[in-house]
Structure 1
Amino acid sequence: MLGLLISEIEQKEMEYLIRRELDELLLDLEDHRIDHMVKRAMKERYRILFQLYRRVASEKECMKYIPSQIEK
């Protein structure tokens, strides 16, 4: 197990960056022009980023990005 010691400002920055990436992935997953193989990789990336997001964001914020939203 690894640990990470970050300040509150760094936590907010990480939260913001991950949230932006999650939003971008959600938009791209709705695009019908993207191939299914690419979407599968994007879904995996989304799940990994969501796991990171859970570690830095509040439970209320995480509820907006639960992975079941992308299972279409």
Structure 2
Amino acid sequence: MLGFLINEREKQEMEYLLKREMDEILFDLKDSRIDHIVKRAMDERYKILFELFKRVASHKDCMKYMKTKRIEQGKS
């Protein structure tokens, strides 16, 4: 187990970067040209990013991305 300390500004930056990356993955999962094997790998990456996101984001933001994730999985 690893741990690190970050200040509020760094927390906000991490939150922003994770949201941006997760949004990009969700967008790409909608693309029918992407192979299902690649989509599965993207989904695994999304799960890892979401676990990190849960550590820094508010409950409201987490619910938003959790809900979106479920919707997207049903479409792919």
Q: Which of the five TM-score ranges fits, normalised by the shorter chain?
A: over 0.9
Question: Which of residues 59, 65, 71 in structure 2 aligns to 1:69?
Answer: 71
TM-score, with length taken from structure 2: 0.89
Q: State how 1:51-62 maps to structure 2 within 5 Å.
A: 51-62=51-62
Gaps of 5+ in 2: none
Residue 27 (structure 1) aligns with: 27
User: Aligned-pair RMSD on alpha carbons?
Assistant: 0.9
Whole-Å separation in 1 of the counterparts to 2:19 and 2:71: 15
Q: 2:29 and 2:63 mapped to 1: Cα distance?
A: 19
| Runs of 4+ with deviation above 4 angstroms | none
- The separation in 1 between residues aligned to 2:27 and 2:16, in whole angstroms, is 17
> How many correspondences in the alignment?
72
Q: Aligned partner of 2:9: which letter?
A: I
Instruction: Report sequence identity in percent.
Output: 62
* TM-score normalised by L of structure 1: 0.94
1:10-36 residue CA offsets vs partner (Å, 9 max, x unmatched): 000000000000000000000111000
Q: Structure 1: 5+ residue runs without aligned partners?
A: none
- Equivalent-residue separation in structure 2 for 1:20 and 1:13 (angstroms): 11
Q: Which has the higher helix share?
A: 2
